[in-house]
Amino acid sequence: MHQYSFYVLPDKINENTAILTGDDFRHCIQVLRKKIGDEVSLVDGRGNIFHSTIQECTKTACTCRILSRETHTTDLNIKIILGFGLVKAKALELIIRDATALGVHSIVPLQTTHSIKQRLNADRAHKIAVESIKQSGNCYLPKIERPQSLAAWFKGLNSNVVKIVCDQESDGKLSELLSDSGSVKSIAVLVGPEGGLCEDELKMVFNAGFVSINLNPFRLRTELAVVAAISSICSLMK
Amino acid sequence: MHQYSFYVLPDKINENTAILTGDDFRHCIQVLRKKIGDEVSLVDGRGNIFHSTIQECTKTACTCRILSRETHTTDLNIKIILGFGLVKAKALELIIRDATALGVHSIVPLQTTHSIKQRLNADRAHKIAVESIKQSGNCYLPKIERPQSLAAWFKGLNSNVVKIVCDQESDGKLSELLSDSGSVKSIAVLVGPEGGLCEDELKMVFNAGFVSINLNPFRLRTELAVVAAISSICSLMK
């Protein structure tokens, strides 16, 4: 059965102790009513799980003594960088939750012609991702970037990253692209917003070295296409 | 761009006319304010799209004259039969919506030890699937079965169907199982409920010829595992 873990900020951890604050402190102490001496499992979102006991408790934080540390290397064989056209708040939250549970490396909301004019509440996004690593058992928090233009995203992508764009009209097969999957270490996946990318944007995308891929013959909503793309990559990399 | 289609019950269609009723009648006439003589596109959920014009209209139905019919064969190369442990109503609706958009052949909610005691509202499920075929452009409505036991489901599965069960603890690789994918025509996918299948159930599953598959190293919620499984199959069958 699933053992509940609490998220602790990496800068609140030193060799022997970790300080639990914020929502996870409240959940641990006020909801689950853990007491001094109780064992708790802590995660830092960077691959570490700390087995610890509660040592001291104030009204806003508790200090845990670290008994042991387990370090997990990332479980996926590939670094997945997810870019997607901004969608409405509810779909955006689903994307952050699901992409985190599936183990992506980073999440990049993109401002495109057809995307929703949507701000990203960074605190809320972080909270959703933390919940998702706790639920899924993935030990790594993805990096959630600020909404940015396609051009800005492309500029930041390393040249050795395989780049794909999901396109219902394409004949491109992910299985062929990844057939020599041993040599692929990182992949950037671009999923358009509802209404797709416009022609000028598609030109930019192909100029930046993206290859179009057909994941499914049907028209998938952005949040469904995101999950389909990540899952397909995971299954082909195995 | 996406052309809006209306769903018409197969038994309301004859060679020259189709009668639009129910929600899609209301959407067509009351919301979109279509008039006699307007062109409308109709789908029957069995692979047919009818280009037609509105000929007559009453308060509850309109008769459309069929101008032409396009018949689509199913776009996936494989028949996917999805069985999953019953989940809460909201997740159940997401599963029906997403599995339909991804093009599965049938959807089978399963009563298992850890699944939610949940009824299936057949009308509501049909409505969600209809919305999903209209949104996704998939021309086939999946068969949505009544909630049933594992034993009842297994009994109804054909012997030549490849059978997989998603299991986070397994080492099984879908890519290896489907490596000779040309010979696989149908696949039954079993996704457990939250909390998984119990030991006795797993024994039954393996006795029924299911092979365990690891889709992702993490603990996926049922609705996410369903999408991950279907997407992985689609990408490996191409």
Domains A5-71 and A79-237 share a fold: no
Q: What amino acid occupies position A53? A: T
Q: Residue B196's Cα: distance from chain center in Å? A: 22
| Closest Cβ–Cβ partner in A75, A219, A232 for B235 | A232
Q: At what angle do helices A89-101 and A222-237 cross, to 10 degrees?
A: 10
Which of these, A122, A135, A141, A125, lies nearest to A44 by C-alpha position? A141
Answer yes or no: are the C-beta atoms of B30 and B59 closer than 8 Å: no
Contacts of residue A60, defined as CB under 8 A and 6 or more positions apart, other chains included, come to A21, A25
Phi, then psi, of B209 in degrees rounded to 5: 95, 10
| Closest Cβ–Cβ partner in A136, A216, A220 for B218 | A136
Q: Which residues of B touch A76 (CB under 8 A)?
A: 217
Q: What amino acid occupies position A133? A: I
What are the tens digits of pLDDT across the range A135-147?
Answer: 998 989 999 999 9
Calculate the CA dihedral of residues A231, A233, A237, A238 and round it to 10 degrees.
10
Strand runs labelled E in chain A: 5-7, 17-21, 39-43, 48-57, 61-71, 79-85, 106-111, 143-144, 148-149, 162-166, 186-191, 211-213
A5-71, superfamily in CATH?
Hypothetical PUA domain-like; domain 1 (2.40.240.20)
Tell me whether strands B211-213 and B39-43 are parallel, antiparallel or unpaired: unpaired
Contacts of residue B209, defined as CB under 8 A and 6 or more positions apart, other chains included, come to B163
b/e B68-104 (16+ beta carbons within 10 angstroms → b): eeeeeeeebebbbbbbbbbbeeebbbbbbbbbbbbbb
**Secondary-structure percent of chain B, ordered helix, strand, coil, rounded to 5:** 35, 30, 40
Q: Which two tokens stand for residue A114?
A: 């057809």
Phi, then psi, of A17 in degrees rounded to 5: -135, 160
Ordered per-residue pLDDT tens for chain B, 238 residues: 346 789 999 999 998 999 999 999 999 999 889 999 999 999 999 999 999 999 999 999 999 999 999 988 777 788 999 999 999 999 999 999 999 999 999 999 999 999 888 788 999 999 999 999 999 989 899 999 999 999 999 999 998 899 999 998 888 988 888 887 677 889 999 999 988 999 999 999 999 999 999 988 888 999 999 999 999 999 888 6
Where are chain B's structural domains? Answer: 5-71, 79-237
Instruction: Please report which helix (H) or strand (E) contains residue A90, including its range.
Output: helix A89-101
Q: What value, to the nearest 5°, has the Cα angle with vertex A224 and ends A221 and A230? A: 135
| Closest Cβ–Cβ partner in A103, A173, A219 for B218 | A103
Q: Residue A205's Cα: distance from chain center in Å? A: 22
Which residue in B234, B236, B237 has the most chain A C-beta atoms within 10 A of its own C-beta, making it the best mutation to test that interface?
A: B234
Contacts of residue B158, defined as CB under 8 A and 6 or more positions apart, other chains included, come to B186
**pTM (predicted TM-score):** 0.89
Contacts of residue A117, defined as CB under 8 A and 6 or more positions apart, other chains included, come to A86
Q: Which two tokens stand for residue A157?
A: 């992508």
Q: Residue B45's Cα: distance from chain center in Å? A: 11
Which of these, A122, A144, A136, lies nearest to A43 by C-alpha position? A136
Ordered per-residue pLDDT tens for chain A, 238 residues: 346 789 999 999 998 999 999 999 999 999 899 999 999 999 999 999 999 999 999 999 999 999 999 998 777 788 999 999 999 999 999 999 999 999 999 999 999 999 888 788 999 999 999 999 999 989 899 999 999 999 999 999 998 899 999 998 888 988 888 887 677 889 999 999 988 999 999 999 999 999 999 988 888 999 999 999 999 999 888 6
Which residue in B90, B139, B180, B224 has the most chain A C-beta atoms within 10 A of its own C-beta, making it the best mutation to test that interface?
A: B224
Q: Is the ipTM of this complex over 0.90?
A: no
**Is residue B199 exposed (0-12), middle (13-18) or buried (19+ Cβ within 10 Å)?**
exposed
Alpha helices, DSSP H only, in chain B?
Answer: 22-26, 89-101, 122-136, 150-156, 174-177, 199-207, 222-237
Question: What is A79-237's CATH number, 3.40.50.850, 3.30.1180.20, 3.40.50.300, 3.40.1280.10?
Answer: 3.40.1280.10
* Interface contact B216-A234, CB threshold 8 A: yes
C-alpha B54/C-alpha B84 separation (Å) is 41
Alpha helices, DSSP H only, in B54-149?
Answer: 89-101, 122-136
Which of these, A107, A101, A104, lies nearest to A137 by C-alpha position? A101
Which residue in B113, B187, B219, B227 has the most chain A C-beta atoms within 10 A of its own C-beta, making it the best mutation to test that interface?
A: B227
DSSP annotation of B167 reads -
C-alpha A228/C-alpha A95 separation (Å) is 11
